[in-house]
Amino acid sequence: MKLVSKNVDKGGQGTVVLIPEESEDMWHAYNLISEGDSVRSTTIRKVQNETATGSSTSSRVRTTLTISVETIDFDTQACVLRLKGRNIEENQYVKMGAYHTLDLELNRKFELRKPEWDSIALERIEMACDPTQSADVAAVVMQEGLAHVCLITPSMTLVRSKIEVSIPRKRKGYIQQHEKGLAKFYESVMQGILRHVNFEVVKCILLASPGFVRDQFMEYMFQQAVKLDIKVLLDNKSKFMLVHSSSGFKHSLREVLQEPAVMSKISDTKAAGEVKALEQFYTMLQCEPAKAFYGKKHVMAAAEAMAVETLLISDNLFRCQDVSQRKEYVHLVENIRDAGGDVKIFSSMHISGEQLSQLTGIAAILRFPMPELEEDSENEDNANNSDSD
């Protein structure tokens, strides 16, 4: 997604102009636009003209309309977003208040105005417009003296750093200089990884090279990590994957990404964090039910007690028509983050999101047990049963 302009004041009112550049951006737009927002974009309208003799002719004209959104329809197959609503700005072809359907398509600019931009909507724009936010795979292609640190998004590869270090050749009596040059090169690559790879977002880091360069570098990097206590590397050791490439140039990435082992690893990365969190929740529900709850009432009560360690919430809940309900969920997310909790927003288009939707779309793993919530739900069940009797 390309952000053309953003004009949001402190009160949260304002407009944002965006251009969707890939199919995934349509999904972001669908999550951004709510009923009651106004959207301005170009469209084609059929216009009827009456001649002096009384006969009428119809023609199709391209015009720019601003509508107040009433219904939103997202076609997942064609990746088209249809917005239906009334025209709210004067136009020579369309009367004020007349209904029109705007089709938002790829590479077509649109302006979105909201009465209030909340933190979830602004976060969605940041995620859609910043490729590094969606780049959940990183790769380092290297050979002796040359390395490229790359980030791989679902649609493009970004070279974040090119590292070139001249290493003296291995000659009799000059082995020490060769090893010094190699250590300097490995140090530069390690710093490049630390600087450009966001370990919170990236789920897999590929180290690719011909020969044993990748193995030697991996050994060097983790020796340094232990020696200098670089926690971010030590905690994410399992994310590194060693693969063969023909050279240290960027074009070698293509052969690396085509390897079956790499492809299966990459296909899992997109929602691996969410899947893991959901698994954790189910395990907790079986082993320690007093530390796992789902449903709005129980999660809200746990959040008030600052007991939520991980919140699992479906993006479906932010698309609800009731504005006050959306605000409730936004405040819940903000409060949990402020209290140091982790928030996982699940995509309802993914299998893990569908599973969460079956659990009311909201669940939480707690820091400490809250058996009183369990008792509440049991009392409610008993009350319901007695009512039905």
User: For residue 134, what pLDDT is reported?
Assistant: 63
Burial tier of 7 (Cβ tally within 10 Å: 0-12, 13-18, 19+) = exposed
Spelled out in words, what is the top-level CATH class assigned to the domain 137-266? alpha beta
User: For residue 379, what pLDDT is reported?
Assistant: 65
pLDDT band at 170; cut points 50, 70, 90? confident
User: For residue 21, what pLDDT is reported?
Assistant: 84
pLDDT band at 386; cut points 50, 70, 90? low
- For the stretch 177-192, pLDDT in tens is 888 999 999 999 999 9
User: Mean pLDDT across the chain, nearest whole number?
Assistant: 86
376 or 240: which leads in pLDDT: 240
State the CB neighbour count (10 A cutoff) for residue 45.
16
**253 has a pLDDT exceeding 60:** yes
User: For residue 177, what pLDDT is reported?
Assistant: 87
Quote the CA–CA distance of 389 and 385 in Å, as a whole number.
6
Q: What percent of the chain has pLDDT over 90?
A: 50
User: For residue 266, what pLDDT is reported?
Assistant: 66
pLDDT band at 384; cut points 50, 70, 90? low
The DSSP bridge pattern shows strands 38-50 and 110-114 to be antiparallel
Domain extents for the chain?
A: 2-49+58-129, 137-266, 270-384
Residue 249 near residue 148, CB atoms below 8 Å: yes
Quote the CA–CA distance of 218 and 213 in Å, as a whole number.
9
Quote the CA–CA distance of 94 and 89 in Å, as a whole number.
9
Quote the CA–CA distance of 40 and 36 in Å, as a whole number.
13
User: For residue 224, what pLDDT is reported?
Assistant: 94
Q: What is the DSSP letter of 246?
A: S
Instruction: Using the Cα atoms of residue 198, residue 244, residue 167 and residue 180 in order, give the sign of their dihedral.
Output: positive
**127 has a pLDDT exceeding 90:** no
What is the CATH number that goes with domain 2-49+58-129? 2.30.30.870
Quote the CA–CA distance of 157 and 137 in Å, as a whole number.
10
Q: What is the signed CA dihedral for 171, 173, 179, 180, rounded to 10 degrees?
A: -120
Q: Which of 112, 97, 98 is nearest to 29 (CA)?
A: 112
Burial tier of 99 (Cβ tally within 10 Å: 0-12, 13-18, 19+) = exposed
User: For residue 240, what pLDDT is reported?
Assistant: 93
Residue corresponding to tokens 């931009």: 117
User: For residue 275, what pLDDT is reported?
Assistant: 74
- Close Cβ partners of 335 (under 8 Å, ≥ 6 residues apart): 303
- For the stretch 314-347, pLDDT in tens is 988 988 777 788 889 999 999 999 999 999 988 7
**Could you give the maximum distance between any two Cα atoms of the chain, in Å?**
102
When pLDDT is averaged across residues 102-121 and rounded to a whole number, the result is 91
pLDDT band at 135; cut points 50, 70, 90? low
- For the stretch 256-313, pLDDT in tens is 877 777 766 665 555 556 777 888 999 999 999 999 999 999 999 999 999 999 999 9
Domains 2-49+58-129 and 270-384 share a fold: no
User: For residue 269, what pLDDT is reported?
Assistant: 54
What is the CATH number that goes with domain 270-384? 3.30.1330.30
User: For residue 11, what pLDDT is reported?
Assistant: 82
**226 has a pLDDT exceeding 80:** yes
pLDDT band at 171; cut points 50, 70, 90? confident
User: For residue 168, what pLDDT is reported?
Assistant: 86
Instruction: Using the Cα atoms of residue 24, residue 26, residue 27 and residue 33 in order, give the sign of their dihedral.
Output: positive
- For the stretch 71-107, pLDDT in tens is 999 887 677 899 999 999 988 888 899 999 999 988 9
151 or 18: which leads in pLDDT: 18
Residue corresponding to tokens 């309900």: 325
The residues with which 386 forms a beta bridge, in sequence order, are none
CA separation, residue 170 to residues 174, 186, 286, 366 (Å): 6, 17, 60, 57
The answer, as to whether pTM is greater than 0.85, is no
